[in-house]
């Protein structure tokens, strides 16, 4: 369809038929459940009530087998399965990239308190619907969601009750400006942090262990006047104080620059080109924070397709796991989604488990080291040799028509298919030297009469430096 048409199609994911993936996801019931339903139906193991017999007597643990007890671990398993499945199989590829980006931007840690029961809704109802929409809408949705309120402790923040003990919690206010909008050098002060925290007092959660819904409690709110980034909020306000702060932050020039920098870093290079950042920031200001317009500007820029940008980014473990499946032309079912999620964890990136508000890093340093490369090759070997349950890859299909009696010919085809001929002389030399290895040159499959093990060789190509980059 051509590159321009493809980009426009990806920017409008609702128009892309993704029924095959949705059908697989329909077998994961927690994905569509509400927070109250998850709190009720997937309780902590210690709170699972004893079974009751038809006679009314308590049967205790004997009457209920452990396998029939549902708990929060089931929620986590299905959430991770769905993320990996969508990443590996969805036709809405750009949407999945942006959902991953924004979840990381507005990170919450899965294992803090009640968040295990909240995070499915957080991704489904907040991140996904706004991933290519207006940033202001996304910002407001995150601010109201119990996952964010709980993670950054705003749900316990309240005005001083006069006891002399401070009750104001500044965590959300600080991260809202430093990580979500303005950036650390965005022009705010510690006084702004205090004033923003005051504005969000009363934004809390109704019965966190039972209902888990956003509620504004006027009795917790500081109704005094406030000054945020030199703008005055009159005394006597309520929930609108927080709403006004979000509006101020969403429309601030520092927010435009900060978000433009992060998006360009994600799509282009660890050192974002200043000229492109400036253009993307200008688009943000001109379109009132239209994310799709910002992404379009990046993907159609000269910087994005430049020689300097090609392979400038090191893949995160999750990106590596998924891209290897796609490169091999693989297919994945629900069981495979869980296998890929587990593989990502083994490579150092357990899904939804970034503890810090900064999320997982989007720079090369944390992911580029010798130990991680060995682990990646081990994963690639298991993938290529079809040892991952529910993940179906056939490296031999990539070498169809090649004389499999010639290891060099098989390698050439795999370099073309998996590395798109972008292979350095050094990498090619290393791979060529490995062609005498008995693990590669042997009778791998008598039915094909092959004596070059394309699976082993494919795994080594997937371990090449060029495939670690995007």
Cβ-based neighbour number of residue 218 at 10 Å: 10
pLDDT score for 320: 97
Global pTM exceeds 0.75: yes
- CA 392 – CA 383 distance, rounded (Å): 8
pLDDT score for 424: 94
pLDDT score for 163: 59
pLDDT score for 52: 41
Measuring CA to CA, how many Å separate 377 from each of 170, 252, 370, 372, 435?
44, 45, 11, 9, 17
pLDDT score for 49: 53
Q: Which residues of the chain, if any, have pLDDT below 50?
A: 50-67, 443-444, 446-447, 450
- Sort 306 into a burial class: Cβ within 10 Å, 0-12 / 13-18 / 19+: middle
- CA 303 – CA 49 distance, rounded (Å): 59
pLDDT score for 59: 34
pLDDT score for 69: 72
pLDDT score for 355: 97
pLDDT score for 353: 97
């Amino acid at each position: 369809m051509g590159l321009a048409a493809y980009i426009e199609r990806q920017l409008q994911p609702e128009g892309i038929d993704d029924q095959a993936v949705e059908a697989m996801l329909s077998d994961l019931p927690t994905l569509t459940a509400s927070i109250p339903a998850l709190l009720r139906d997937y309780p902590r193991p210690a709170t699972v009530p004893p079974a009751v017999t038809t006679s009314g007597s308590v049967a205790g643990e004997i009457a209920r087998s452990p396998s029939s007890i549902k708990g929060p671990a089931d929620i986590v398993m299905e959430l991770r399965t769905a993320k990996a499945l969508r990443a590996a199989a969805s036709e809405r590829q750009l949407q999945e990239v942006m959902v991953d980006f924004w979840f990381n931007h507005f990170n919450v840690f899965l294992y803090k308190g009640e968040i295990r029961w909240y995070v499915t809704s957080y991704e489904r109802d907040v991140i996904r619907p706004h991933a290519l929409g207006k940033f202001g809408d996304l910002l407001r949705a995150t601010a109201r969601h119990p996952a964010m309120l709980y993670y950054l402790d705003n749900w316990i923040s309240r005005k001083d009750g006069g006891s002399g003990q401070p009750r104001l919690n500044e965590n959300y206010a600080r991260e809202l400006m430093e990580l979500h909008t303005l950036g650390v050098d965005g022009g705010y002060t510690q006084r702004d942090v205090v004033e923003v925290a005051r504005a969000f007092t009363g934004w809390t959660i109704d019965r966190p262990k039972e209902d888990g819904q956003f509620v504004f409690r006027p009795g917790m709110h500081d109704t005094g006047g406030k000054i945020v980034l030199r703008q005055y909020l009159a005394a006597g306000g309520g929930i609108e104080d927080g709403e006004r702060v979000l509006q101020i932050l969403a429309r601030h020039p520092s927010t435009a620059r900060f978000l433009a920098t992060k998006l360009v870093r994600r799509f282009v290079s660890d050192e974002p080109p200043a000229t492109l950042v400036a253009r993307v920031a200008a688009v943000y200001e001109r379109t009132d924070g239209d994310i799709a317009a910002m992404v379009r500007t990046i993907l159609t820029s000269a910087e994005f397709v430049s020689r300097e940008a090609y392979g400038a980014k090191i893949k995160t473990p999750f990106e590596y796991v998924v891209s290897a499946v796609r490169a091999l032309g693989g297919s994945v079912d629900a069981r495979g989604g869980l296998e890929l999620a587990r593989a990502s964890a083994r490579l150092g990136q357990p899904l939804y488990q970034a503890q810090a508000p900064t999320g997982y890093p989007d720079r090369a340093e944390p992911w580029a080291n010798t130990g991680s490369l060995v682990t990646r090759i081990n994963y690639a070997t298991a993938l290529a040799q079809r040892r991952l349950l529910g993940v179906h890859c056939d490296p031999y299909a990539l070498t169809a028509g090649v004389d499999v009696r010639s290891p060099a010919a098989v390698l050439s085809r795999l370099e073309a298919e998996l590395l798109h001929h972008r292979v350095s002389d050094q990498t090619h030399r290393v791979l060529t030297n490995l062609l005498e290895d008995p693990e590669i040159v042997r009778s791998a499959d008598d039915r094909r009469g092959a004596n070059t093990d394309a699976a082993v060789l494919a795994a080594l190509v997937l371990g090449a430096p060029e495939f670690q980059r995007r």
